Amino acid sequence: MTHAEVLAKLSEIVGRVVYHEVSLQSSTTAHDVKGWDSLAQISIVIFVEQEYKIRFRMGEVAATRNVGEFADLILRYRQKAESHA
């Protein structure tokens, strides 16, 4: 799983939650995407967790500064999950 793959998947998920097509870059922030507010964030996190079968701790996602860092966080959790498997 590469960083680019995670970005593509995130674009799909965010698009589904904010009801329009989006194309995310590493530097994109929630402010850059119409509709990506704190409410949409709730659904986006649930989608990501179910998609990747991971579970973030409280505050972890909120601490990421852009989509790239969010993707890094996802990748870290996946690697952890795979090393346990």
Partner 1 sequence: MRALARKITDLGTDLVKKSKSTRSFTEMMSLVALRKNFKDGPWKHPDAAEVRVALIGGYNVYPMQELLEHLLAMEGLNCKLHVGNFAAYASEILNDKSSLHAFKPQVTIVIPSDDSGAYTGGLADPIQTQRDAAHQAANSLLELCRTLHAKTGTDVILTNFAPSATHDLGPFRNRTLGSDWNFRRAVNLELGLNAPAFVQICDLEFLFYRAGALASRDPRSWFESKQPCSPDLLVDLSREFALTVAARHRAAKKVVVVDLDNTLWGGIIGDDGLEGIELGDTSPRGEAFKTMQRFILSLTQRGLLLAVCSKNEIQAAEEPFLKHPEMVLKKEHFVAFKANWRPKADNIREIAAELNLGLDSFIFIDDNPAEVELVRQLVPEVSSVLLPDDPADFVPFLQETRLFEVRSITAEDSARNEHYRINIEAKKLAAAAPDLKSYLRSLEMTGTIRKFRKEDVPRLAQLIGKSNQFNLTTRRRSEGEVLQVMADPDKRAFSVRLKDRFTDHGLIAILILDIKGDTAEIETWLMSCRVLGREVEEFCINEIFRIAKQAGAREVLGRYLPSPKNAMVADLYLRMGFTARADHFVRSTSDFHSYSTQIDSDQENV
| Contacting residues toward partner 1, per CB under 8 A | 15-17, 19, 38-39, 42-43, 46-47, 50-51, 55, 57-59
Angstrom distances, CA of residue 71 to CA of 12, 16, 83? 13, 17, 18
Least distance between partner 1 and beta carbon 10 (Å): 14
In this structure, which amino acid lies at residue 55? R
Amino acid symbol at 74: I
Residue 59 or 84: which CB sits closer to partner 1? 59
Is residue 71 within 8 A of residue 7, CB to CB? The reply is yes
Q: CB-based contacts of 6: which residues, under 8 Å, 6+ apart? A: 71, 74, 75
Between residues 4 and 42, which has the closer beta carbon with respect to partner 1? 42
Between 8 and 26, CB nearer to partner 1: 8
- Quote the least distance from Cβ 19 to partner 1, whole Å: 5
Least distance CB 62 / partner 1 (angstroms): 8
